[in-house]
Structure 1
């Protein structure tokens, strides 16, 4: 964190799985200030004095380093406000399928225009699965309906094709409705609250709410920021 020579924030080795071995829906971490130990000094503007030997990496707190000159020395506070917030939000999960999936309905849509009008409506019903083996052969006759050949030959009438297409349109509408239900709308941020400190460093917060609750709401509902107040400070507070 500039202009300090060796202060930083960060995380390491985060477990994103819950107790049930599932991905966490949301994980939020409050980041605190760290001292790398490579340089000496108590403030942001301390010269780049190299520590020899380097000190261990440590967490800067309201009471450590225990020196009035430290930029974050506020012994009256139990803990310092977070420097930053890190969030991990699961948007979607994808599953890898080993079995090849052949979308027969999409092929039917592309080929329907070339099917002859001479079709038979007296054929027995044919049940199509969503995953047809890739070895099936699709053939179109010049004066007949689509035929699917595997170990024998079956024909599909125009009525059956129309039913397939209507089913596909219905599924698309359902998918669109599901996507709309997943959309999350958040309100605008409120104004920052007054600083909670009247002598020293404190924090100010602002909030927003969920207007339309979707499956996944991306973004925090509350943010905090550093602030300072000195209206109730005794005169000795300013004398070091």
Structure 2
């Protein structure tokens, strides 16, 4: 009897597997994914430029312990079926550790395992940290047709779990490689820490949120370091420039150390520094009304106060009155 039952079970299992296989083969093949047919590999130089200035981001701009800066850049070249990170998806443990602490060991382990398991990763790259909110760091990398995509991540320092980066930028255009590409970078929240300000203490997000882009109104909390309700869009925090290295020319060696923010800026950097984001004054809530100062039977005056949470900058709205008074009559007069 048991043998008959086992035979029937395996027969049903085989039917289910055949049905599944037929279903997979009948599924439509996506045609919107571009296919790279470039016959040769290509080398690129990558230049990351920080644009995080106090004029562009005046709210709670970190000036010490630690001052505004960027972590080292960690990137990969890969195929279309791999993602280092994705907006609106949960961050991996590796991305979490890097976004919160700047530790890259777990992230590199994740990348290595993906490369071994599905052969979707071709190369790993890194570039030195930038020691200020502005400045540059550079690296170079190689791509080929099967692995024509680039992804990277750079941690915003200090921050709870904020970063900038790119997700799956395709450097191939049909049968040839793109000569150059420049992208502006905006902040993302890894969804693993619930701090609102650059220097917030560690406060784990439970349950974990998905990776979201930070905007001038999201998160919509006045304490948030990026909350600028008068702006439609945040200024870019950084930019990345990708330039194909011509094989016929001598490859110029790239710097191994980032440029310092106090070096002479280029024309584009001068233009970037002219961005002045207005920051309105922020005041606290009013205190309770004080005691009524008066003799019994006579009207008197009582006061309440508030204080400045944040001073205005870059022609932002001026601070309101910090003290109010009103007429009153003393209570419990005998």
Same fold (TM over 0.5): no
Higher RCO (Cα < 8 Å, 6 or more apart)? 2
Give the TM-score taking structure 2 as reference length. 0.32
Q: Higher strand share goes to which structure? A: 2
Choose 1 or 2 for highest CA Rg: 1
